[in-house]
């Protein structure tokens, strides 16, 4: 039977082969073709964003498509994953949306850029996504897009005047208080509506222009922007339409070639000529895609079939890969040129008194990605110079770029007696520091260096760093205050003094270091110009630290004249040296909604680790504060680099209670807040962005109101967070938490609470008896009048959550600060400060921990990060069941962060302060959070 079947198959094969119905060779070819297609498809990038060469990938896709289309339906079934080709060929695919575009380094970062236009600015054929949206995401700039499809430049009655640029500008765009640049589309709508061209006016007054004409509208927009925002105006011109492009479009759409050429070539070129005439008058920027050969000379198939949805309107791909890179580069160049033209890296001082000249970079329009605490406050003493001589001196120092980068302030101070510096000038210096001293840098030049050496050195307890250039120094001064110093061309007496004051020892290259504290350093330079000296001073000393008083009171309430003990030297985190990717995100959407701001501190080492292996710490700022403070003043990023975890700091508050009216107002960045459920949604986004994150080891911590929110969120989202750390947290959220735990059925939640005994809110002692709290009236302290201060319900709530006996009331005989009996109670050194700590344990081990820090006010303290991390890292969460998992049940209270452990209370520790500062407006702080005197970055 088998032989018969085989013979029959041979006969049939020959029969059909001779009949031309079957071709065994062609069948083999088909297999080879389909295998080749499968191989080529597998080598394609997953999205066009991942392509190294879009034009090359597009051609590969066309080749695959051509071969695929020649196959029969049956043969096509052998081609696997062809949907990938279709997805890549879709120029408006969702994979090209802005949320998948990465931010890159750009000089546009943080700038607010307005875009005024019509359909091309809108993104008419690309789901309302256009180049302004991509530029905003890529550069970190703030996009203000005002565009309406069909809108003409000119406002002519009865000719779409309701959507004209003039109407849009006056009715909508004008609502923005600040623009760093205005980008205007040279519309093609005016050409098709028959609007007249007009003439360039000799006037500079916007009210003199006839904005019913094209040129009049241009001039009106430019003059309006100059008057309203005093910002550069940049027009962009659409890409050139060649005869080949027009003919191809007309043929495919059965359109009239001559009409298209008249409207989109001839008349539009007249508008371009008019624009350049306007540019000659106004010196505006022009981004010209029409005349740029490199831009317009691209493959016609790539342009027509991928980059353009029609003859005028780009696709997402067209915007992303064609328009955006060119416009972004030109925009950066235009703004840099304008900045160079206007600023020229110089500083223009303002005379504020007979002996002082000031400059404030923030007020001059410069911004920074760091909080104002990091911004230096320079005090320069250079002898009896006038304004012009002072400006020349700063030019010689080449300090302008530093001022601009850090949005810093500088004061050039001459002798009060117009002759030479005396003790009165030193006293005046202390008066100038006032309240809230943070990052004071003193520079002395020649006679000014002598003054700094002899006088400021004796009263430098609030000075972060000193630089001297030349000068002399008398002998016999007290070595009472360590101060980091850079000494250029110094006398030996000055070198000896600062080395001894810092208790430093000589290392290499004229660097002297204190072995116990490397911030106490002295660096000596010789044979260098003033510019070289400042550059070296910044690199070696100034960039490394700031200085604050947060012991007896908060730095933002501390009068430098009153608090005269040496302020704490605090390191400035250098993210580059730490190998941390610092990623600021301003006004970004979350799943296509809202405008949110947050800051990421990602150690580069963690990006190389396995997926699901990296812990995440979420750090929440205090009420109304700058979220960047949680990266700069907590110590978390530095520790993350050491311990390999990630840190993020969101603008979490949706609204902030106004400090004077108690009415809700905008948060620090004037954006939407990642509060409550939005915080969790954001964390889920981060897990997708960074698959290295271990979802079982996510911890939340915060300062003040952020600590209160952390306390609430730890219970409310117990499946998300494996531990909570609250720092100086008043009981703002205690009512909601108390109600929540009545029906709580989640897992245990490790809880650590830290607070200073000089916190001006006075959370500890928990009986609200602190005499170190703010005195709102003689003998009346803040805790007694602010119901938000009481945090004891936090303790009760977490006792219940963690299956502990709930304390009905505090008993101060059990613990002088927390009013409950604590296990393992002992005095330790946390950094340099005495701290009383203790724990609470359930049947599974330590689950709650409390620390009271001596001489600590209502602010972050960097050693707290290590202390919290040693607590956090003992716990993780089963994200499926919510059960708490103890990593080391037998040793979950390690002592890496503390020294000199003792059960004995420190003796002779002053716990009170003889004087109070009646800071105007402090009563308004009775809102449950802390309002810090820091300068806000203008955001829209």
Q: How far apart are CA 380 and CA 545, in angstroms?
A: 18
> Is residue 469 within 8 Å of 535, Cβ to Cβ?
no
3-state secondary structure of 585: strand
Task: Give the pLDDT score at 905.
Answer: 57
- Burial group, residue 72, by CB count within 10 angstroms (0-12, 13-18, 19+): exposed
Query: What sign results for the dihedral spanned by CA atoms 472, 473, 474, 475?
Result: negative
**pLDDT tier, 27 (very low <50, low <70, confident <90, very high otherwise):** low
Higher local confidence (pLDDT), 902 or 376 = 376
Judged on CB neighbours under 10 Å (0-12, 13-18, 19+), 301 is middle
Could you count the other beta carbons within 10 Å of the beta carbon of residue 816?
15
Q: Quick check: 690 pLDDT over 90? A: yes
pLDDT over threshold 50, residue 653: yes
- pLDDT per residue as tens digits for the range 162-172: 999 999 999 99
Answer yes or no: are the C-beta atoms of 598 and 585 closer than 8 Å. Answer: yes
Break the chain into its structural domains and give their ranges: 18-89, 96-341, 350-571, 597-925
pLDDT of residue 204: 77
| Spatial separation of the C-alpha atoms in residues 494 and 574, rounded to whole Å | 29
Q: Provide the pairing of β-strand 884-886 with 875-877.
A: antiparallel
Cα–Cα separations (whole angstroms), residue 785 to 436, 761, 770, 927: 25, 10, 13, 11
Are 802 and 853 in contact, with CB atoms under 8 Å apart? no
Highest CATH level, class, for 350-571 = alpha beta
pLDDT at 339 over 60: no
From CA 77, how far away is CA 89, in angstroms rounded? 20
912 has a pLDDT exceeding 50: no
Whether the per-residue pLDDT at 228 is higher than 60: the answer is: yes
pLDDT at 932: 37
Measured CA to CA, the distance from residue 195 to residue 157 in angstroms comes to: 11
pLDDT of residue 722: 98
Q: What is the pLDDT of residues 384-430, one digit of tens each?
A: 999 999 999 999 999 999 999 999 999 999 999 999 999 999 999 99
Please tell me which of 25-29, 74-78, 88-92, 585-589 the model is most confident about, judged by mean pLDDT: 88-92
Mean pLDDT of 320-324: 94
pLDDT band at 461 (very low <50, low <70, confident <90, very high): very high
d(CA 390, CA 8): 106
Element housing 775 (H / E):
strand 775-777
**Is 131 within 8 Å of 323 (Cβ atoms)?**
yes
pLDDT band for position 145 (cuts 50, 70, 90): very high
Q: Average of pLDDT values for 478-483?
A: 91
Provide the pLDDT for residue 921: 34
- Residue 734 CB neighbour total at 10 angstroms: 23
The pLDDT-based confidence of 492 (bands split at 50, 70, 90) is very high
Residue 3: what pLDDT? Answer: 39
CB neighbours (10 Å) of residue 480? Answer: 12
In this prediction, residue 904 carries a pLDDT of: 56
pLDDT of residue 338: 63
Cβ neighbours, 10 Å, residue 911: 12
- 205 φ/ψ angles, rounded to the nearest 5 degrees: -95, 125
Do 597-925 and 96-341 fall under one CATH topology? Answer: yes
Reading the block at residue 62, the tokens are 């066309």
Q: How many Cβ atoms sit within 10 Å of the Cβ of residue 171?
A: 11
Stretch 189-202: mean pLDDT: 86
For residue range 544-595, what is the model confidence (pLDDT) as tens digits? 999 999 999 999 999 999 999 999 999 999 998 999 999 999 999 898 899 9
Given a cut of 90, is residue 311 above it in pLDDT? no
Q: What is the mean pLDDT of the chain?
A: 89
Residue 901's pLDDT is what? 53
Q: What is the pLDDT of residue 29?
A: 65
pLDDT in tens, 258-287: 888 887 788 888 899 999 989 988 889 999
DSSP string, 67-85: HHHTS-HHHHTTSTTHHHH
Instruction: Round to whole Å and give the CA distance between 263 and 342.
Output: 39
State what percent of residues in the chain have pLDDT above 90.
74
pLDDT of residue 5: 39
Where is mean pLDDT largest: 44-53, 328-337, 821-830, 929-938?
A: 821-830
Instruction: Write down the pLDDT at residue 9.
Output: 37
pLDDT tens, position by position, 581-637: 999 999 998 988 999 999 999 999 999 999 999 999 999 999 999 999 999 999 999
**How buried is 103 (Cβ within 10 angstroms: 0-12 exposed, 13-18 middle, 19+ buried)?**
middle
Give the whole-angstrom CA distance, residue 181 versus residue 135: 13
- The structural architecture, per CATH, of the domain 96-341 is 3-Layer(aba) Sandwich (3.40)
The closest alpha carbon to 906, from 850, 845, 857, 834, belongs to: 834
pLDDT score at 248: 82
Global model pTM greater than 0.75? no
Instruction: Note the residue count of the chain.
Output: 940
What are the C-alpha distances in Å from 154 to residues 193, 194, 277? 10, 11, 17
Least confident of 193-207, 483-497, 852-866, 915-929: 915-929
Count other C-beta atoms under 10 Å from residue 604's C-beta.
11
What does the DSSP assignment read for 535-577?
Answer: HHHHHHTGGGEEEE--SSS-GGG-BTTT--SPPEEEEPP-TTT
CATH of 597-925, one of 3.40.50.12160, 3.30.200.20, 3.40.50.1820, 1.10.357.10: 3.40.50.1820
User: With contact defined as beta carbons under 8 Å apart, do 551 and 543 qualify?
Assistant: no
The reported pLDDT for the residue numbered 715 is: 98
Whether residue 300 has pLDDT greater than 80? yes
Res 335: pLDDT: 85
If DSSP codes are grouped into helix, strand and coil, which group holds residue 909?
coil
């Amino acid at each position: 039977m088998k032989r018969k079947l085989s013979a029959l198959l041979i006969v049939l094969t020959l029969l059909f082969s001779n009949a031309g119905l079957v071709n065994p060779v062609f069948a083999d070819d088909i297999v080879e073709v389909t295998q080749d297609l499968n191989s080529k498809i597998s080598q394609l990038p997953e999205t066009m964003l991942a392509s190294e060469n879009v034009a090359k990938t597009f051609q590969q896709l066309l080749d695959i498509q051509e071969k695929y289309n020649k196959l029969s339906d049956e043969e096509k079934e052998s081609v696997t994953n062809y949907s990938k080709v279709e997805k890549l060929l879709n120029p408006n695919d969702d994979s090209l949306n802005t949320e998948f575009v990465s931010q890159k380094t750009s000089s546009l970062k943080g700038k607010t850029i307005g875009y005024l236009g019509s359909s091309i600015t809108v993104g008419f054929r690309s789901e309302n996504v256009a180049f302004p949206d991509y530029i905003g995401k890529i550069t970190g700039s703030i996009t203000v897009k005002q565009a309406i499809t069909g809108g003409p430049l000119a406002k002519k009655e009865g000719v779409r005047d309701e959507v004209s640029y003039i109407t849009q500008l006056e009715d909508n765009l004008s609502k923005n208080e600040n623009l760093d640049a205005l980008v205007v589309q040279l519309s093609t709508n005016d050409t098709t509506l028959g609007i007249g061209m007009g003439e360039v006016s000799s006037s500079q007054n916007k009210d003199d222009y006839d904005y019913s004409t094209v040129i009049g509208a241009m001039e009106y927009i430019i003059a309006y922007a100059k008057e309203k925002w005093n910002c550069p105006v940049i027009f962009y011109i659409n890409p050139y339409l060649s005869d080949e492009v027009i003919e191809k479009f007309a043929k495919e759409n059965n359109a009239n070639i001559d009409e298209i050429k008249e409207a989109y070539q001839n008349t539009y070129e007249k508008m371009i000529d008019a624009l350049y005439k306007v540019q000659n008058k106004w010196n505006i920027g022009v981004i010209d895609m029409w005349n740029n050969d490199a831009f317009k000379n691209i493959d016609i198939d790539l342009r027509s079939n991928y980059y353009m949805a029609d003859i005028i309107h780009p696709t997402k791909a067209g915007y992303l890969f064609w328009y955006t890179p060119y416009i972004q580069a030109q925009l950066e160049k235009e703004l840099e040129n304008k900045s160079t033209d206007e600023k020229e890296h110089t500083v223009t001082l303002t005379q504020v008194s007979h002996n002082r000249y000031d400059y404030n970079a923030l007020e001059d329009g410069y911004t920074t990605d760091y909080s104002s605490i990091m911004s230096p406050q320079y005090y320069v003493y250079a002898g009896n110079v006038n304004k012009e001589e002072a400006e020349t001196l700063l030019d010689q120092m080449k300090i302008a770029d530093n001022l601009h980068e850090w949005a810093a302030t500088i004061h050039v101070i001459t002798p009060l007696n117009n002759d030479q510096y005396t003790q009165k000038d030193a006293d005046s210096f202390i008066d100038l520091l006032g309240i809230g001293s943070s990052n004071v840098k003193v520079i002395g030049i020649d006679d000014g260096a002598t003054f700094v050496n002899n006088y400021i050195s004796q009263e430098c307890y609030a000075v972060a760093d000193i630089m001297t250039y030349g000068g002399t120094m008398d002998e016999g001064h007290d070595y009472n205050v360590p101060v980091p110093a850079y000494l250029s061309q110094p006398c030996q007496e000055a070198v000896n003094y600062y080395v001894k004051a810092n208790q430093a020892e000589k290392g290499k290259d004229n660097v002297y270091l204190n072995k116990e504290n490397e911030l106490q350093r002295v660096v000596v330079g010789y044979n260098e110009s003033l510019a070289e000296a400042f550059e070296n001073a910044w690199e070696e000393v100034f960039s490394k630290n700031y200085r604050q008083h947060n012991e007896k009171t908060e730095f933002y309430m501390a009068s430098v004249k009153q608090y005269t003990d040496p302020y704490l030297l605090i390191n400035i985190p250098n993210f580059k040296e730490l190998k941390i990717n610092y990623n600021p995100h301003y006004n970004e959407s979350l799943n296509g909604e809202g405008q949110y701001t947050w800051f990421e501190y990602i150690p580069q080492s963690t990006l190389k680790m396995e997926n699901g292996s990296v812990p995440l710490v979420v750090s929440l700022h205090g009420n109304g504060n700058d979220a960047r403070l949680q990266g700069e003043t907590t110590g978390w990023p530095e520790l993350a680099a050491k311990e390999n975890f990630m840190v993020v700091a969101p603008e979490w508050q949706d609204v902030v209670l106004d400090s004077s009216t108690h009415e809700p107002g905008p948060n620090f960045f004037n954006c939407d807040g990642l509060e409550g459920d939005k915080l969790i949604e954001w964390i889920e986004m981060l897990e997708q962005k960074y698959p290295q994150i271990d979802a079982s080891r996510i911890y939340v911590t915060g300062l003040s109101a952020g600590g209160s929110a952390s306390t609430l969120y730890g219970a409310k989202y117990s499946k998300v967070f494996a531990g909570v750390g609250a720092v100086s947290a008043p009981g703002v959220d205690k009512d909601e938490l108390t109600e929540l735990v009545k029906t709580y059925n989640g897992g245990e939640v490790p809880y650590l609470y830290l607070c200073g005994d000089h916190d001006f809110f006075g959370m500890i002692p928990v009986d609200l008896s602190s005499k170190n709290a703010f005195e709102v009236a003689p003998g009346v302290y803040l805790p007694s009048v602010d119901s938000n201060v009481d945090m004891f319900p936090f303790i009760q709530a977490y006792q219940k959550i963690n299956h502990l006996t709930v304390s009905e009331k505090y008993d101060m005989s059990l613990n002088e600060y927390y009013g409950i009996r604590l296990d393992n109670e002992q005095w330790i050194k946390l950094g340099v400060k005495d701290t009383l700590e203790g724990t609470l344990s359930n049947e599974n081990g330590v689950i709650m921990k409390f620390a009271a820090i001596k001489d600590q006010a209502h602010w972050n303290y960097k050693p707290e990060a290590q202390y919290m991390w040693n607590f956090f890292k003992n716990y993780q969460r089963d994200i499926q069941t919510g059960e708490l998992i103890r990593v080391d049940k037998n040793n979950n209270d390690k002592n890496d962060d503390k020294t000199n452990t003792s059960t004995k209370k420190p003796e002779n520790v002053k716990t009170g302060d003889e004087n109070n500062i009646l800071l105007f407006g402090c009563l308004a702080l009775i809102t449950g959070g802390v309002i810090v005197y820091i300068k806000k970055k203008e955001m829209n």
